[in-house]
A and B are shown apart, each in its own frame.
Chain A
């Protein structure tokens, strides 16, 4: 994979590539632990990154997951080429999923991924163009002491 530094890096994701699904988020988690991010925040970032990574693998064709770690925040940007999302409000509803049966048999398709990202992050932006792709920006504050998890 790409040479990533402790402060920023990029992972490449392939749609339908389930064999190593989750390895980007797993590596990001190790990096966050290494640079000393607080445990509860590491867990939140890892969960949100994993949901976003799986969405690219399940719903899109290809994409990237980028991270940037500063003293202020962890920022994750996930961009994909794929079908895009027609109705973002609907996609954000807990339980809404277009995942096919074979994906559901693997345990995905609860329609909880985007709500989970929203719940675990401090800021969540989603942009999508139908027929082109989707971009998520997910931010976690490192400074705020009283942020609820």
Chain B
């Protein structure tokens, strides 16, 4: 799914556009507040939905080929997080919606988990 469509669905705001939103196609969603779970289950090309607002979230995305991070529940990214996102061309988005609603909307729109579902 086009990232621009995702932004529309979750009423998202763009904090850092990673050098271009348009080219990005999101293939699945990884929702986690534990970084080792991102590193364990995250897939390349996934969108990471989290409430963690510090720079190692961007590192985890960079390391596991995740192009975009969406902060839910109005989490405000730390300035170090924003500058690392800019540096590493990781797209950083925010939404006021809670995690549950954010994921519910994306699921309804057709996106599935990066973890194989049973």
Mark A residues whose CB is within 8 Å of B: 18-19, 21-22, 25-26, 29, 43, 46-47, 50-51, 54, 106-113, 115-116, 119
| Interface of chain B, main secondary structure | helix
| A–B Cβ pairs within 8 angstroms, 17 of them | A19-B55, A19-B80, A22-B55, A22-B62, A26-B88, A29-B63, A47-B64, A50-B59, A50-B60, A106-B54, A107-B50, A107-B56, A108-B56, A110-B36, A112-B37, A116-B36, A119-B40
Q: Find chain B residues with CB under 8 A from A113 CB.
A: 36
Contact string against A for B residues 39-54, beta-carbon threshold 8 Å, 1 for contact and 0 otherwise: 1100010000010101
Bound-state Cα–Cα, A110 to B56, Å:
15
Chain B's nearest CB lies how many Å from the CB of A54?
8
Residue among A107, A109, A110, A116 having the largest count of chain B Cβ atoms under 10 Å: A107
Query: B33 in the interface, Cβ–Cβ < 8 Å?
Result: yes
Bound-state Cα–Cα, A116 to B60, Å:
13
Bound-state Cα–Cα, A111 to B64, Å:
18
| Residue from A21, A43, A112 within 8 A of B59 (CB atoms) | A21
**Known pairs A46-B64, A107-B56; A51 contacts B39 (CB<8 A):** yes
| Interface of chain A, main secondary structure | helix
Chain B interfacial residues counted at CB < 8 A:
22
Q: Find chain A residues with CB under 8 A from B36 CB.
A: 51, 108, 110-113, 116
Bound-state Cα–Cα, A108 to B54, Å:
11
Bound-state Cα–Cα, A113 to B36, Å:
6
Query: B99 in the interface, Cβ–Cβ < 8 Å?
Result: no
Bound-state Cα–Cα, A26 to B87, Å:
12
Q: Find chain B residues with CB under 8 A from A19 CB.
A: 55, 80
Say whether B63 contacts A18, CB under 8 Å: no
Residue of A nearest to B84 (CB): A22
Bound-state Cα–Cα, A19 to B33, Å:
19
Say whether A107 contacts B54, CB under 8 Å: yes
Contact string against A for B residues 74-96, beta-carbon threshold 8 Å, 1 for contact and 0 otherwise: 00000010000000100000000
Say whether B54 contacts A26, CB under 8 Å: no
| Residue from B34, B56, B65 within 8 A of A112 (CB atoms) | B34
Bound-state Cα–Cα, A106 to B50, Å:
12
Bound-state Cα–Cα, A109 to B80, Å:
21
Say whether A50 contacts B39, CB under 8 Å: yes
Q: Find chain B residues with CB under 8 A from A47 CB.
A: 39, 63-64
